[in-house]
C-alpha cells in the first residue's frame, strides 16, 4: 500500500470499514477540516492526519486543479475554492437554510413591514440566497442572486465580524475596500473598528453604504456549535427608516435570528 492509499496510523485504519479507498478517504477528511477552520495549512494537515507533507501537497494540488481549494498568496494557507463553495451553496440554498429560514423571513417581513433577506458569506462577498419583499408600494427590492462586497452591507458585516483578524486581512490584502457609495467603508482599518462594534452588540447596520437610499440591520443565524452560517437582514428605503426605525429593526432581526438559531441547534 502506498502512502497515498494510507489513511493515517494503524489504529485509525483498524477502525475503518472494509472496502474503504484510502486516498479518497484522505481527501474527504482533508475537506472536512474546513468545517472547523476558515483556512488550513500543509503542516497542520500533515500533523492532524498523520501524513507526509509531500502527500498533503499532492492532495491540495489536485484539489486546487479542480478548484475545490485555493491558496492565499499572502499567507500560503488554503481556503475553500469556488467549486467547493458552489456545491455547498447549492445544498444550503436548495435544502437546508432556505427551507428552514423561510418562515422566519416571512415573520421578519411581517413584523417590520419591510423586505427581509437571507445571505451567506463567500470570500469577501455577501451572496443573497432568499428574500421576502415588503408589501409596500415603495420598498427595497429583492437581492436574491446578487453578490455584493460584504463590507458594504449590514448582512455581510455581521458575517465578517465572525472572522479571525488574520482571515479578514487575507480577504483584503491591500487594505483598500471598494466604494459603492460615498458612505461605504473604504479601508481595512475602519472596517476592523466597525466589526468590533458589530461583534460586541450582535448586529450590524447599513446606512446608505451599498445603495444611498437604503438602510438595513442584520444579525447572524448560527448552527448548533454557535458558528455563523448565514444572516438575516431587514431593509427599507431611508425615507422612512430613521434612527428609531434602525434601532427597532436591529432588535427585531436579532431576536428572530436567535430564535431560528435555537431551532437549528
Q: How far, in Å, CA of 227 to CA of 221, rounded?
A: 8
Q: Of all residues in the chain, what percent carry a pLDDT higher than 90?
A: 66
- SS3 category, 151: helix
Same domain, 246 and 176: yes
Q: Report the CATH number at residue 243.
A: 3.30.450.40
Q: What is the mean pLDDT of residues 7-32?
A: 67
Give 211's DSSP letter: S
Q: Are residues 171 and 249 in the same domain?
A: yes
The structural domain count of the chain equals 2
Last residue of a domain, one of 40, 65, 80: 80
Residue 2 reports pLDDT greater than 70: no
Q: Which of 29, 60, 80 is the last residue of a domain?
A: 80
Q: Give CA 119 to chain center in angstroms.
A: 8
234 and 260, same structural domain? yes
Strand, coil or helix: 66:
coil
Quick: pLDDT tens for 221-263: 998 778 898 999 999 999 999 999 999 999 999 999 999 998 8
- Is the same domain home to 17 and 130? no
Q: Judge contact between 175 and 187, C-beta under 8 A.
A: yes
Residue 92 has pLDDT above 70, yes or no: no
pLDDT of 15 reads 57
Residues 67 and 143 both lie in one domain:
no
State residue 192's pLDDT score. 97
Give the range of the structural domain holding residue 156, as residue numbers without chain letter. Answer: 86-264
Domain-embedded: residue 2: no
Per-residue DSSP letter, 163 = S
Verify that 53 and 111 share a domain, yes or no.
Answer: no
Amino acid at each position: 500500500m502506498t502512502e497515498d492509499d494510507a489513511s493515517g496510523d494503524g489504529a485509525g485504519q483498524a477502525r475503518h470499514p472494509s472496502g474503504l479507498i484510502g486516498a479518497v478517504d484522505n481527501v474527504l477528511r482533508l475537506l472536512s477540516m474546513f468545517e472547523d477552520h476558515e483556512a488550513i495549512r500543509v503542516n497542520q494537515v500533515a500533523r492532524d492526519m498523520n501524513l507526509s507533507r509531500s502527500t498533503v501537497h499532492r492532495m491540495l494540488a489536485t484539489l486546487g486543479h479542480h478548484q475545490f481549494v485555493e491558496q492565499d498568496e499572502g499567507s500560503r494557507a488554503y481556503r475553500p475554492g469556488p467549486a467547493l463553495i458552489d456545491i455547498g451553496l447549492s445544498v444550503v440554498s436548495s435544502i437546508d437554510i432556505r427551507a428552514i429560514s423561510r418562515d422566519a423571513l416571512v415573520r421578519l417581513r411581517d413584523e417590520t413591514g419591510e423586505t427581509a433577506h437571507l445571505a451567506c458569506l463567500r470570500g469577501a462577498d455577501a451572496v443573497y440566497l432568499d428574500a421576502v419583499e415588503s408589501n409596500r408600494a415603495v420598498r427595497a427590492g429583492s437581492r436574491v442572486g446578487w453578490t455584493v462586497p460584504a463590507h458594504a452591507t449590514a448582512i455581510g458585516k455581521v458575517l465578517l465580524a465572525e472572522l479571525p483578524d488574520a482571515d479578514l486581512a487575507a480577504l483584503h490584502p491591500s487594505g483598500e475596500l471598494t466604494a459603492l457609495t460615498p458612505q461605504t467603508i473604504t479601508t481595512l482599518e475602519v472596517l476592523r473598528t466597525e466589526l468590533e462594534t458589530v461583534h460586541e452588540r450582535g448586529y450590524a447596520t447599513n446606512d446608505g453604504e451599498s445603495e444611498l437610499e437604503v438602510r438595513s440591520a442584520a444579525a447572524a443565524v448560527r448552527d448548533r456549535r454557535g458558528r455563523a452560517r448565514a444572516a438575516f437582514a431587514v431593509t427599507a428605503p431611508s425615507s422612512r427608516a430613521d434612527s428609531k426605525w434602525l434601532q427597532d429593526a436591529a432588535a427585531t432581526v436579532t431576536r428572530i435570528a436567535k430564535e431560528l438559531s435555537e431551532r437549528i441547534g
